[in-house]
Structure formats: C-alpha cells, structure tokens
Amino acid sequence: MLIPVLLSGGVGSRLWPVSRESYPKQFLPLASEQSMLQETLARLDGIDTASPIVVCNEEHRFVVAEQLRQLNCKAGTIILEPMGRNTAAAAAVAAICAQKNDPNAILLILSADHLIENVEAFRHSVRAALPLAEAGKLVTFGIVPTRPEVGYGYIRRGNGLSPVGYKIGRFIEKPDADTAQRYLQSGEYYWNSGMFLLRASIYLDELAKHAPDILKASQSALKQAREDLDFERLDAEIFSTCPSVSIDYAVMEKTDLGAVLPMDCGWSDVGAWSALWEVADKDLNGNVLKGDVLLDNCKNSYVRSDSRLVAATGIENLVVVETSDAVLVADRENVQDVKKIVTLLRESGRQEANAHTRVYRPWGFYESLIEGDSFQVKRIVVSPGHKLSLQKHFKRAEHWVVVSGTAEVTLEDKVFTLVEGESTYVAVENKHRLANTTRSPLELIEVQSGSYLGEDDIQRFDDDYGRSAT
C-alpha cells in the first residue's frame, strides 16, 4: 500500500507578509486558484495511493480539514503536532500510524508547500522509484538543477542501483556561487528536494539505529495521543522532548540504504518571493503583477496587491507585496532576508509577525477592520451549518449588526433570530452564542467596547470543535 504523507508544519516566514504563522504558505493560493496543500494532493491523481496522512500544527487542524473537504479528499489520519519538531519526527509518527493498517506500507513523504510545474514528470518519477523502495531502499528525489542555485542543498549521486536510481554519494550544504556552477556543469549533483519514498518499517528500523531518541519520543507521544474529533493529537509534554532534526540529518546521511532518483519536473520549494517571480507569467518588461497593480516604466519586478491599488514607477528588480496591514519592499536578489524582518517584528512584539487581520476559525473567519484604545470593529462570517462556542467575556461588550444571512442568537436564557439590518447588544459577562443554521453564509459587523479586547478574554461553556474552556 502506497500512502502519501503530507508534512504541513512549515511557517513560510520568507513569504511574509502574505504567509504568517497563523496561516502559512501551504494554505495559500500562491501559484494557482488552489492552495499549495491542495495542489500537492491533486498531483497524486493518477498514482494508486491510499488515503493520505497529514501531519500539521494543532493550530491549523481545521484549516487542513476544510481544504481537504473542498477536494472531497478523506484523510486517513490528521496528526496534530503541539509544536514543530522537524521532518524526522513527523515522518516517524506517520510511519507508526501507517504500520497499524499495513505493516508493509510504503510512504511517499511530501512537503505540502512545494511547487511542481510538470505534474506528469513527478508522477513518472514516483512510479519509477517504487521498485527501489519495495527492495528496501530509502529513496529521495534529486531535482535536476537548471541553474547554479546557492539557496538549496545538493545531493551527489554515487554508483547506479537501477536504470534510473543511484546510491547517494553525499549530501552537501548550500554552496557558494562558484561551487554551484561546478555542480551544474558536472551533471552529478541534484538539488535536495526533501521528498522521499520508503517503506515505513525500514525507515523506523534505520531511525532506531541512527536516531533512537527521536524514535522513542515519537512512539511515546503517539502512544499517549488522544483522539480529538477527527484528529490524532500527540502528547505535548512527551513530544516537546523530541530532538528537532530533519530526515536527512537523522537518517539519510548515515544509512547504507539511501538512494537518489533524478526528477526533472519544474520543482521549487517556493522559499522566497523571487521563486514566485521565476515561475510566474511575466509581461513584456519581465514584471509579475498580482491583484490591483498599475506599473509605469518598471522592469523585472514582482508586485502584488491583496487589498488596494498598488502603483509603481521607475522600479527594477524589486519585490513589492501589499496586504491589508503591511507592505514589503525588497530587492529581488535579497528576499531571503525577509526572514530577518519577521524576527525583528517578533522581537518588537508586533502581531503582524504571526497573524493576519483575517483570522480563520473552524466556524468561518473574522476580520479586524479598525481598532482603537477601547473599541474594535470586526467583520464576522459564519459558514452554513456552523456556530461559535457558548461563551462570555469579562472585560468587553459586543454589538452585532447582521449584514447578510440569518443569525440564531443565544443570549443568556433567550434564543432568537436576527435578519439583515437587525442588531443586538451583548453586555459584559452575558453568556452568548452565534449560530448559522441556514445554507447560506452569515455575515455581520461586531463592535467591541471595553477595557480589554484580547482574544483570551473568553470563557467557553460548550464548543462543537473540542476547544477547551478558557
């Protein structure tokens, strides 16, 4: 049984301000109408696979579930990590889960935030690698390089193992420009894709040999995991003790069973805005325009607008990215340093480092429109058939105005309906709930007022999504 494993725990900070910790790049439609997670799932069509295993941060569980639902894809398991511990541990818990249903399971381990232009070439490579994995090899896919890239690690191939595969010669960290040029000319080196095809049992055996502490922590965290709705929640205390190490460092650089299979499929890890510029369609001046953008005398730039008009004149080789609460301007050759901006924002305690103005919840989303010292205005959209928790706040009151749809309101011991144009007031410490029992979205404006407006000012009494009372 071939089981896809989607690793969806990345943050994507180099794609700030669009990608943020609360809603990172794998959930965003950066290269098409689908999110990168959905594109990863879609490219498995045509390969005979079982239901996927998805490993993600626990904060993203409902986003993952919703994006799978949109594709009519039923996950075999969605494993929730309480904190990121890199790919070796994520692959380990997935392998243990896979073995429960099939002791001989073969895993196709994929990052959920990679871009592949030639999907059929990807599928062909996976099929070609299967005999190696079935024979007990731990296969990684080496991307045939198209340029002397200094932002990727490399794999040097060794002796041939099959008509298409090779032993791994060695792994190499990101080289300088001259070294990368030599690698490109030699034809013996590939970009390290971070994609793997391997038998679950053999990966766990090799992990026991080379990184037993990772295996032990993964086994224990999964043994003490608890079911949370449709999710498998790892034990936080145990998983926190697991070393944070990649599959490469933990196993592939040490094992005698490693193999590399070349893949030429238009791959990118979309690790920076320059990568999106490279793969996108460009105008006659080499510019990539996304959203409401107006350019004059501009060349070789990536300009993106998410919420308003962005106009530029006389710029060249720049990246300009606008969201509702932040604007990034960077030299296209230095966009790897965007991560430093995110670090500075976090050190300053700025919420723009981690959260968008639009925040997704299992029932829909809310969007902050304006905020003052003692008030905040939000737009709230509740999906059909969903409802918020029964709750109360200790430091703020709320005024709801329905913009469209029909709201079922619980306020203390009363339950009533509001339609478009109607409103209600929720006083401090009033127990309340908002629900949408219809088949159409419910949209309303919420005006909050009080001495404290933080999201942690909440006590939940009942919740459909398993969130604890806080």
Domain match, 334 and 369 both = no
Task: Please give the structure tokens belonging to residue 430.
Answer: 């009033």
Instruction: Give the pLDDT confidence score for residue 467 in this predicted structure.
Output: 76
CATH number at residue 17: 3.90.550.10
Q: Are 336 and 386 in a shared domain?
A: no
Statement to judge: residues 245 and 371 lie in one domain = no
> How far apart (Å, rounded) are the C-alpha atoms in residues 243 and 92?
12
Instruction: Quote the pTM value.
Output: 0.90
One domain for residues 286 and 263? no
Which residues, other chains included, contact 273 with Cβ-Cβ below 8 Å and sequence gap of 6+?
14, 15, 302, 319, 321, 328, 330, 332, 335, 338
Q: Are both 369 and 389 inside the same structural domain?
A: yes
Report the C-alpha gap between 18 and 102 in whole angstroms.
39
- DSSP secondary structure string for all residues of 214-266: HHHHHHHHHHT-EEETTEEE--HHHHTTS----HIIIIITT-SSEEEEEE-S-
pLDDT in tens, 257-298: 999 999 999 999 998 999 999 999 999 999 999 999 999 999
Among 268, 284, 316, where does a domain finish?
A: 268
- Both tokens of residue 338? 């965007």
Integer Cα distance of 276 and 145 in angstroms: 17
Mean pLDDT by 10 residues, the chain (470 residues): 94 92 93 94 94 94 91 90 96 96 96 96 97 97 94 94 93 94 95 97 98 97 89 96 96 97 95 93 97 98 97 98 96 92 95 89 92 95 96 97 97 97 97 97 97 93 77
**Whether 163 and 73 share a structural domain:** yes
Sign of the alpha-carbon torsion through 158, 160, 161, 164: positive
In one-letter notation, the amino acid at residue 379 is R
SS3 of residue 367 by DSSP: strand
Tokens read off for 154? 């490399």
Asked whether residue 347 is assigned to any structural domain, the reply reads no
Asked if 33 and 110 touch (Cβ cutoff 8 Å), the reply is: no
Which DSSP letter does residue 362 get?
T
Domain that holds residue 452: 358-462
**What CATH number did the domain enclosing 390 receive?**
2.60.120.10
Q: Does 353 fall in a domain?
A: no
Domain end marker among 318, 342, 366 = 342
Q: Which residues of 99-137 are buried (b: 16+ CB within 10 A; e: fewer)?
A: beeeeebbbbbbbbbbbbeebebbbbbbebbbebbeeeb
* Average pLDDT in the chain: 95
Location of structure tokens 């290269």: 31
- The rounded distance, in Å, linking the Cα atoms of 214 and 89 is 6
**Is the same domain home to 382 and 299?**
no
Asked whether residue 169 is assigned to any structural domain, the reply reads yes
Predicted local confidence at residue 355, as pLDDT: 87
Backbone angles phi, psi at 320, to 5 degrees: -125, 120
With tokens 């791959």, the residue in question is: 267
Q: How far apart are CA 269 and CA 19, in angstroms?
A: 14
pLDDT for residue 75: 81
Assigned domain for 381 exists: yes
| Per-residue pLDDT at 280 | 92
The share of the chain scoring above pLDDT 70, in percent, equals 99
Reference 225, options 217, 235, 215, 216; nearest CA is 235
Structure tokens at 133: 């994995």
Residue 470's pLDDT is 47
> Is residue 329 located within the same domain as residue 225?
no
Kindly report the backbone phi and psi dihedral angles of residue 318, in degrees, each rounded to the nearest multiple of 5, phi listed first: -115, 160
In a domain, 385, yes or no: yes
108 located within any domain: yes
Q: Considering the domain boundaries, does residue 351 fall inside one?
A: no
Residue type, 51: S
Question: In this structure, are 165 and 41 located in the same domain?
Answer: yes
Q: Are residues 411 and 434 in the same domain?
A: yes
Asked if residue 328 and residue 209 are part of one domain, the reply reads no
**Statement to judge: residues 285 and 384 lie in one domain:** no
Question: What distance in Å separates the CA atoms of residue 28 and residue 15, rounded to the nearest whole number?
Answer: 11
C-beta separation of 202 from 188 below 8 A: no
Residue 467 lies in a domain: no
Strands (E), 82-185: 106-111, 115-116, 138-143, 154-160, 166-172
Number of structural domains found in the chain: 3
Q: For residue 465, how many other CB atoms are within 10 A of its CB?
A: 16
Neighbours of 338 (CB within 10 A): 21
* Whole-number Cα distances in Å, 352 to 24, 184, 207, 347, 359: 13, 39, 38, 12, 12
Quickly tell me which residue has 């932040």 as its tokens: 326
The residue out of 248, 268, 288 marking a domain boundary is: 268
The answer to whether 270 and 15 have CB atoms below 8 angstroms apart is yes
Alpha-carbon torsion angle 231, 235, 236, 238, nearest 10 = -150
